[in-house]
Structure 1
Amino acid sequence: MTLGQSSACAGTCPPAGMAATLSSVITHDVDEQAALLRGWNQSYAQLSAGVFNGSISETSFSGIHLFVEQTDNELFQTGVLPSNLCAVGVPVRFAGTANFCGAATAGEALHVFSGRDGFEFHTPCGSVMGGIVVDIDDLAASFGDDEQQAVFPTLREAHLRRANPKSTSALRQMILGAFDVLNNSPQLIDDAAHGRAMKGALVSTLAQALTDEQPDTGPSIAPAKRWLIVATARGLVMDHPDTPMNVADLCRAIGISRRNLQYCFQDVLGISPAAFLKIVRLNGARRAIKTAKSVTDAATTWGFWHFGRFASDYRAMFGELPSETYRRFHGSGIATS
C-alpha cells in the first residue's frame, strides 16, 4: 500500500494487480489542484477573488479509483479522460447552483465526466464532489447484453444524468464509506478479498444508478417463471452463505437483466433484490461478529462500508447495536478496530 502523496496513476484506473494507494492532499494553488486527478487533462480557472483552498482524497485498488475533491473557490473546469474509462461524480455538497456541460444543477444529479469530447464544469464556492472511475470493461460486466445496448450509447458524451435519488444517495454513501473504512483501518487496502468485495459493491451500485435513467418498458416474464427466477437467486445466495453477493453477481449467474430481476423480486417477495441481499448480508455480518476480531472486520467482510448506516440498519433488523452483539460474545473487549 502507498500512503501520502498521490501516485503517478492517480485519477485513472491502475491494473488490478498494481499496489493499492490511499492519499490526501491540501492545495493552495488552482493549477496544482487541477493536476491532482492525473489522466484527466484538466484545466481550472479561478473565478472568485481570494486565496485558493482545495483538497483531494484518493484511493485506488483492484482496478478502481475513488476520489473526494473539495474546492472553496468558484471555478470553471475543463477536462477529457481516456476513452477506456467511465468517470462519474456524485455531489456531496454544493453551496449554490453549478453548471455541468450546459445544464444547471443544485447537486441532485450524477455527473458523467467521461466522454469523447470532454466536459465543462462551472462550480460555485464551497463545492465537494465524490467520484468513481472504472474501466469500461469492468462496468460492462455488471450489465446484461440488452442493458449494455441501452446504457452505453448514453455514456459517449459527458453529461448531467438524472437518476433515482435512492440510487444516487447509495452511490454517494458507498464512496464516502469506502474512505471512512480505509482511513480508520488502512490495513484493509492491502487485503485482496476486501478490495474485490468493495470493488464489486461499488461497480454494482454505479451500474444501478446508470440504469435508473432508462425507460421502463414493463416486465416480459411470465408469473410462473418470475417465481423460478427468485428461487434460483435465493438458492445462489443461500448456497454461498459466507460470500457476499451483489445484484450484478446474481444477474450474471442467472442470465437476466437488472430490471427484470427487480420485477421478479418485487412481484414474488415484495422487496427489491438489493433489499434482499442487504438482509442476507446483515445476517452474515451478525454471524461473523460472533468470531471476528472486531465489528469493523465483520462489517467490511460482508460489504458494509458506511459504519453509521450499518449500525442503524443492524439495530433495526436485530434490535441491538453490532457492538452489543460483539460484547455478548467477546466480553468487554474493544468492539471496533
Structure 2
Amino acid sequence: MNLVQSRDEDNSCAPVRCKQYSFDVNQQAQTLTAWEQRYNQHGSGQFNGYLDELRLPKLHLFEEYTSQTIHQECCVNPDALWIGFSLDTQRPKVNGRTAEKHQLMIRPAHEHFELTTPEDFNILGIVIDRELLTTGIGFEELERWESTCLIENSHAEHSCWALVDLIKQSLNCNSILGRKLLELADPNQIELHSRLVNLIEQSAIARLGMYQVAGTPEHSRGFSTRRQALKRINNHIEQTGNYPLTINEMCSIACVSQRTLQYCFEQELGINPNTFVRDCRLNAVRRELLNMSEQSAICDIALRYGFYHLGTFNHYYKLLFAETPSQTRDRASKYQNVSVVKRFVRRNGFK
C-alpha cells in the first residue's frame, strides 16, 4: 500500500471526503487537520488506526479508530469547537472527566485539553464553526458550553444515536446522502452543493440543540486537587523538557503526598504514575527516532530521556510498541505519512 501525503493543495470549493489509515500513533495525530494534537501510546502492542472524514467549510464530521490506549493533548483551531462522543462500552475521559453515552465532550478553540481513550476504541466527532453553532443555540448557551467539558442529552436513554446516525450517513458511500456527496465533484452541481451543505449543517445544529450543560462535579475539592496536581507535572515537563524519574520527584513537583499522587493518576488516567511517565518518555524517544533529521545514536537518545540501562529501555520499548527502537528508525520513512485509502472529493483543508 503506497503511503502519500494527506494534505490537499488545490483551490476547489468542493468538500473533502477521505479515509486514511495509520500504523503509528504519531501518524494518527498527523491525520487530524482541524486542530493541533500530540498522541502518547499507553497500551502495549502494535498500533493501527484510521480517520474517516468529511470536511465542509464550516463543519468537519469524522470517525476515528485507535487500537491502543491513547493519551491525547489537543487544541482546536481558532473560531471552532470540538465535540466528541462514542457508543463504545469503554468510556473516554476529557480533562479527567468520564463521558457517558448520553454526554458529549466539548472544548472551545485555543484551549489545550487532555483526552484519554481506551484500547480498540471508536470516537465520532464534529468540529463546528462558532458562528454557525451560535445561530442554532444562541450566544448565551454557547458561552455555557465553552465553560464546561461535558454537555448532555436530558433523555439519557437516547444516547448520541441521532448524531451518530448523521455522521454515519454522511460517511457511508452507499447511503443516499453519501452518494449525493460524491456527486459534488461535478462543477455543474453548485445548487446541489449548497443544498446538501445546508442540510448537513442544519441537521447537526438541530441534533446539538438537544443538549445542555451537565452538572459541574469538576468544582468539587477532590477533582480540583487532582487536576492541579497533574497540571503541575505537565507544566514542569513543558517548561523544562525534563521528565520526573521517581515518585518522590513527582510528588515534589505536584505538591501532593505519594498516596494522593497515586490516587490522582488512577482516577484521572487509569494508570499508576511510574508507568504513565515511563510511557511518556518512551513516546518522546519514539518521536525522536521518527525524526529523520535526528542522527544521534539510539543509546544517546534513550539517555536523554532518562533511560540509563539500555537492556531495560529496549525491553519496555518493545513491550509498548511491539517493535525494537532499531526497527522504528528503519521504518521512519514509512511512518512519516498516512495511507490514504479513499479520497473522494477535494478542497482545501477545513480551518
Q: Provide TM-score, normalisation by structure 1.
A: 0.53
AA of the residue aligned to 1:54: G
Q: SS where residue 21 of structure 1 aligns?
A: strand
Aligned partner of 1:97 among 76, 86, 91 = 91
Report deviation, 1:133: 1.8
The answer to whether the aligner puts 1:43 opposite 2:38 as a matched pair is: yes
Report deviation, 1:62: 4.5
Q: State how far apart, in whole Å, the 2-side matches of 1:128 and 1:84 are.
A: 26
Q: State how far apart, in whole Å, the 1-side matches of 2:44 and 2:184 are.
A: 39
CA change 1:141–1:179 in 2 (3 A) is same
AA of the residue aligned to 2:126: I
Q: SS where residue 52 of structure 1 aligns?
A: coil
Tell me if structure 2 keeps the 8 A contact 1:96–1:106: no
The answer to whether the aligner puts 1:177 opposite 2:176 as a matched pair is: no
AA of the residue aligned to 2:66: T
Instruction: Show the 5 A alignment for 1:206-217.
Output: 206-214=204-212
Q: State how far apart, in whole Å, the 1-side matches of 2:79 and 2:30 are.
A: 20
The answer to whether the aligner puts 1:52 opposite 2:25 as a matched pair is: no
AA of the residue aligned to 1:202: I
Q: State how far apart, in whole Å, the 2-side matches of 1:196 and 1:109 are.
A: 31
Q: State how far apart, in whole Å, the 1-side matches of 2:31 and 2:201 are.
A: 23
| Residues 192-242 of structure 1, C-alpha deviations (whole Å, 9 max, x = no match) | 444433433333343344433449xxxxxxxxxxxxxxxxxxxxxxxxxxx
What is the match of residue 196 of structure 1?
194
Aligned partner of 1:162 among 149, 152, 156 = 152
| Residues 41-85 of structure 1, C-alpha deviations (whole Å, 9 max, x = no match) | 101111110000100011223442211111111111110012301
The answer to whether the aligner puts 1:123 opposite 2:113 as a matched pair is: no
What is the match of residue 13 of structure 2?
18
Q: State how far apart, in whole Å, the 2-side matches of 1:211 and 1:183 are.
A: 24
| Residues 129-175 of structure 1, C-alpha deviations (whole Å, 9 max, x = no match) | 112222212222234xxx322x1112324612212454832111011
Larger RCO (CA within 8 A; separation ≥ 6): 2
Instruction: Show the 5 A alignment for 1:281-320.
Output: none
What is the match of residue 80 of structure 1?
75
Aligned partner of 2:131 among 134, 137, 147 = 137
What is the match of residue 308 of structure 2?
none
Tell me if structure 1 keeps the 8 A contact 2:181–2:196: no
What RMSD over aligned residues (CA atoms) do the two structures have, in Å?
Answer: 2.9
Where in structure 1 are there 5+ consecutive unaligned residues?
A: 216-337
CA change 1:163–1:6 in 2 (3 A) is farther
Q: SS where residue 56 of structure 1 aligns?
A: strand
Q: May I ask how many residue pairs the two structures share in their alignment?
A: 202
Where in structure 2 are there 5+ consecutive unaligned residues?
A: 214-351
Q: State how far apart, in whole Å, the 1-side matches of 2:25 and 2:8 are.
A: 19
Tell me if structure 2 keeps the 8 A contact 1:64–1:132: yes
Report deviation, 1:102: 1.9
Q: State how far apart, in whole Å, the 1-side matches of 2:179 and 2:198 are.
A: 21
